[in-house]
Amino acid sequence: MDYQKILEDIYEEIQPFAKDGKQADYIPALAKVNPDQFGMCLETVSGEVYAHMQADTRFSIQSITKVFALAMCLSMKGETLWKRVGKEPSGTAFNSLVQLEVEKGIPRNPFINAGAIVLADLLISELEDPEAEFLRFVRALCGSETVDYNMEVALSEREKGYLNAAIANMLKYHGTIENDIEQVLMFYFKMCSVEMSCRELAKAFLAFTNHAPFEYAGYKLSKSRIKRLNAVMQTCGFYDEAGEFSYLVGLPGKSGVGGGIIAVYPHRYSVAVWSPRLNSKGNSVLGMKALELLTTYTEESIF
C-alpha cells in the first residue's frame, strides 16, 4: 500500500472544502490560530511513517487528551471506573448541561466534557502530582520529552469556561467529583491545552492499535481493556457526530476542537490529521473528509 501517495492525493482532493468551517473562536487563544493549515501523519505498527504538509506543527489537541486520561484511569481503577462515568454515546452536544441534570450527575461517557472533568477529579484524588504524571504518561506514549501544556490556551479556556464551570458545579452537587472545583477545572483545562503534532499523535496512539497489553510510565492496560477503550472511541469519540464518523470512516478515533483527529486501524496503523476549521459539531472539516477518503482509497476499516 503506497500510503505516502494516498496522503498526497487526499490533500489534493479535499481542497474544494479548504475554506469551509471556522476555528474554535469561542476559546480566545484558539481564535488566533491560522485556520488555513493542514497536517496528516500515518504510522504503521511496523514503524513506517508517512507524513504530509504540516505534520510536525504542534497544536492544542483539546479533547483528544481525554483518551490519555481514560487510559490512566482504567489502569488505576479498572472496571470500577464505570461507577463514576458511563460508556454510552451522548447524542447531545459535548458540553450539554441538560443531559447531565436529567441523569443526576453521572456523565454519559468519558469523552464529553462532564465525563472528562470526572476523570480529572479522579486523577487528582489518586496522584500526588497529577499534572506532572499526566505529562509523563503522554510523553512516554509519543516518545517526546518536549510535549507540554500551553498555559496561554489553558488560561484562555478558564477565562471563558462558564459552561464547564456550571458542569463542574453540577457534578459537585451530585457528589460525582470529590475535589475543589477550581483545582479540577484548571487541571482539566491544562490537559486540553497539551500541544502535539500529527506525527507525535500517530506515534502515541500506536499503543491503542495492537490490542496487546502495554505498559507506559508505570500505567498498564490489558488486551481486554485496550479493546474496550477502542469501543468507547468508536461510539463516543466524535461528540454527537460519532455515528457519522463510523458511517463515513469506520475506525475508532477521537477528535478535538483544536482541529485534530486521531484514528486507529487495529493491528495496522494509527493516523492523525489536523486542520483548524471545524464543522457545526466541533469536528475538523478537512480532517473528517481526509479520513473518509483514506478508508475509501485503502478499503481498510473495521467494517
What's the grid cell of residue 6? 494516498
Q: Which of 11, 60, 63, 67 does the annotation list as catalytic? A: 63
Residue with cell 488560561: 155
The pLDDT score that the predictor gives to residue 207 is 95
Active-site residue flag, 188: yes
Strand partners, 286: none
Asked whether residue 43 is domain-assigned, the answer is yes
Q: Mean pLDDT in runs of 10 for the chain (303 residues)? A: 96 97 90 95 97 98 97 95 91 76 89 96 97 98 97 92 92 95 97 98 95 91 94 92 94 97 96 97 96 96 91
The pLDDT score that the predictor gives to residue 295 is 97
Q: Which of 3, 11, 149, 188 does the annotation list as catalytic? A: 188
d(CA 292, CA 246): 10
Active-site residue flag, 269: no
Q: Which of 257, 264, 273, 285 does the annotation list as catalytic? A: 257
Active-site residue flag, 289: no
Per-residue pLDDT of 174-214, as tens digits, reads 999 999 999 999 999 999 999 999 999 999 999 999 878 99
Active-site residue flag, 271: no
Distance of CA 34 to the CA centre of its chain: 21
Q: Which of 50, 216, 219, 239 does the annotation list as catalytic? A: 239
Sign of the CA dihedral with 284 first, then 250, 240, and 236 last? negative
d(CA 252, CA 238): 10
The pLDDT score that the predictor gives to residue 84 is 93
Print burial letters for 260-285: b (CB count within 10 Å at least 16), e (below 16): bbbbbbbebbbbbbbbbbbeebbbbb
Asked whether residue 303 is domain-assigned, the answer is no
Residue with cell 500551553: 150
Q: Which of 60, 66, 75, 153 does the annotation list as catalytic? A: 66
The CATH number of the domain holding residue 251 is: 3.40.710.10
Asked whether residue 22 is domain-assigned, the answer is yes
Asked whether residue 273 is domain-assigned, the answer is yes
The pLDDT score that the predictor gives to residue 55 is 98
Domain that includes residue 51, residue range: 3-298
3-state secondary structure of 22: strand
Asked whether residue 92 is domain-assigned, the answer is yes
Nearest to residue 274, comparing CAs of 76, 104, 42? 42
DSSP states along 51-86: EEESTT--EE-GGGHHHHHHHHHHHHHGGGGGGTS-
pTM: 0.96
The pLDDT score that the predictor gives to residue 26 is 85
Sign of the CA dihedral with 238 first, then 140, 203, and 223 last? negative
d(CA 147, CA 137): 11
The pLDDT score that the predictor gives to residue 46 is 94
d(CA 12, CA 203): 25
Total domains, the chain: 1
